[in-house]
């Protein structure tokens, strides 16, 4: 040992001096700093207005008993009297900070509000009444960013510890001195650090109908919420929702959820994952159909899954496709065919009629998956469709410039009913 130690130290000194040259460099970058509110101010901000507000940005849809509830991201929920789809009327607005998704069951509207789940009484669907909230059930929910900069997650940790809620971001320029050895950083600026945070769904209806972009899914008396890589489950059978277990990992960056039979179909950037809800409180993973990286909502009918993959700032490669997958055997799904599209987003299916928000709106009669494109019924262009709900022979589509509605009672003469504009 007496001979080995000096030799080792001598070798180490030589290695460090000869192979690693250090230098200090000035690094300038921009980082998103969190904008916060106290939890008290945040939770006291909910307000139901009977005076409608102009929809400034398109969001997700939920239909219930003739009324549409349109979430405007981060702002709240617009209430639209849609009992006459040819003449929809905006009748109210729910101020709800941090809202993205809505689901309705038995006259109860459930919505996310950053870290909380909030619910309202819809006995009068035009005038929801705030009932209560479950606090902190989405503890790491964060608002989306509007740029490509990193985020100061350390400051978010501090905000949570001090009973603050992150409600936005403010870009801030920073300067740091970084020590490098042969070009490798030995100290990384905070913008590159990661954190475990969630990003950010005839007679009376008992449950609302949501579009394919929803992160809320209903099965029996359970509400399933997917955010980023986590699933949270609530039992809605009682007077108040109950979180049945801790949130758990399901897949990386889950974007959408679609219940079908006794299964949940999850849209992720890398594939469509299938979970069984035979035991509703313990969803079991079954299988995944992998695909090229991209954002991908999914709908299912008659054991055929339809998946759109679109490119976007956050979605990966410049690939735009429609996939059709046979899921009659959920343990071994069979990818049947892929079609190229321009930039598809949401989609809907109703009794053999497929609606795809691509280059406006395209409508197909499904049958032989290999012949889908030959069975296109109509193509309305000139708008950027985002998501849609087909129900009772009316197609409701939210686009960047408004809510479009179409009558498809007669598939040979699909006609536009109305357009409720977004913006002033």
Q: 124 lies in a domain?
A: yes
Could you read off the pLDDT tens digit of each residue along the chain, which spans 424 residues? 333 334 444 444 444 445 556 677 778 889 999 999 999 999 999 999 999 999 999 999 999 999 999 999 999 999 999 999 999 999 999 999 999 999 999 999 999 999 999 999 999 999 999 999 999 999 878 888 888 888 998 898 888 888 899 999 999 998 877 666 655 544 444 443 333 333 333 346 689 999 999 999 999 999 999 987 899 999 999 999 999 999 999 876 788 999 999 999 999 888 899 999 999 999 999 999 987 666 679 999 999 999 999 876 455 567 899 999 999 999 999 999 999 999 999 999 999 999 999 999 999 999 999 999 999 999 999 999 999 999 999 999 999 999 999 999 999 999 999 999 998 6
Q: 348 lies in a domain?
A: no
- Cα–chain-centroid distance for residue 58? 13
CB 303 within 8 A of CB 347: no
Q: 159 lies in a domain?
A: yes
Q: 33 lies in a domain?
A: yes
- Cα–chain-centroid distance for residue 362? 22
Q: 218 lies in a domain?
A: no
Give the single-character DSSP code of 207.
B
The CA distance from 259 to 300, in Å, is 8
Helix (H, G, I), strand (E, B) or coil at 114: coil
Give the single-character DSSP code of 332.
S
What's the number of domains the chain is made of?
1
Residue 248: what pLDDT?
Answer: 92
Nearest to 346 by CA among 291, 414, 400: 400
Q: Length of the chain, please?
A: 424
88 CB-side CA count, 13 A: 28
Question: How far is residue 45 from each of residues 52, 166, 169, 171, measured CA to CA in Å?
Answer: 17, 14, 19, 25
Q: 204 lies in a domain?
A: yes
Range of the domain at 56: 24-210
Bridge partners of residue 419, in order along the sequence: 404
Residue 176: what pLDDT?
Answer: 76
Q: 384 lies in a domain?
A: no
Residue 290: what pLDDT?
Answer: 83
Residue 203: what pLDDT?
Answer: 46
Residue 15: what pLDDT?
Answer: 43
Q: 261 lies in a domain?
A: no
Helix (H) / strand (E) element for 371: namely none
Parallel, antiparallel or unpaired: strands 150-151 and 22-38: parallel
């Amino acid at each position: 040992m007496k001979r080995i130690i000096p030799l080792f130290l001598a070798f180490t000194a030589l290695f460090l001096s000869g192979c690693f040259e250090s230098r200090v460099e000035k690094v300038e970058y921009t980082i998103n700093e969190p904008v916060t509110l106290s939890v008290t101010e945040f939770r006291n901000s909910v307000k139901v207005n009977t005076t409608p507000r102009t929809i400034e940005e398109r969001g997700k849809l939920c239909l219930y008993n003739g009324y549409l509830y349109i979430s405007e991201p981060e702002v709240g929920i617009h209430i639209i009297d849609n009992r006459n789809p040819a003449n929809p009327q905006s009748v109210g607005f729910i101020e709800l900070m941090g809202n993205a998704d809505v689901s309705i069951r038995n006259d109860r509207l459930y919505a996310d509000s950053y870290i909380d789940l909030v619910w309202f009484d819809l006995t009068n669907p035009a005038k929801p009444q705030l009932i209560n909230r479950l606090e902190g059930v989405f503890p790491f929910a964060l608002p989306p960013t509007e740029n490509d900069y990193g985020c100061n997650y350390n400051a978010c940790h501090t905000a949570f510890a001090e009973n603050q809620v992150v409600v936005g971001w403010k870009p801030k320029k920073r300067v740091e001195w970084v020590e490098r050895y042969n070009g490798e950083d030995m100290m990384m600026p905070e913008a590159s650090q990661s954190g475990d945070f969630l990003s950010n769904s005839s007679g009376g209806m008992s449950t609302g109908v949501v579009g394919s972009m929803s992160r809320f899914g209903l099965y029996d008396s359970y509400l399933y919420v997917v955010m980023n890589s986590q699933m949270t489950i609530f039992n809605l059978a009682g007077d108040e929702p109950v979180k049945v277990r801790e949130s758990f990992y399901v897949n990386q960056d889950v974007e959408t959820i679609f219940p079908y039979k006794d299964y949940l179909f999850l849209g992720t950037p890398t594939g469509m994952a299938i979970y069984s809800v035979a035991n509703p409180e313990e969803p079991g993973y079954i299988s995944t159909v992998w695909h090229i990286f991209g954002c991908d909502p999914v709908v299912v009918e008659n054991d055929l899954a339809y998946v759109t993959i679109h490119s976007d700032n956050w979605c990966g490669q410049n690939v735009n496709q429609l996939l059709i997958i046979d899921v009659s055997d959920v343990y071994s799904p069979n990818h049947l065919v892929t079609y190229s599209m321009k930039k598809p987003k949401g989609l809907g299916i109703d009794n053999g009629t497929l609606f795809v928000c691509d280059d406006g709106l395209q409508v197909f009669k499904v049958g032989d998956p290999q012949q889908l494109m030959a069975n296109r019924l109509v193509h309305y262009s000139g708008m950027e469709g985002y998501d849609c709900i087909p129900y009772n022979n009316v197609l409701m589509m939210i686009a960047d410039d408004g809510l479009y509605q179409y009558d498809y009672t007669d598939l040979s003469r699909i006609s536009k009913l109305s357009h409720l504009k977004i913006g002033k």
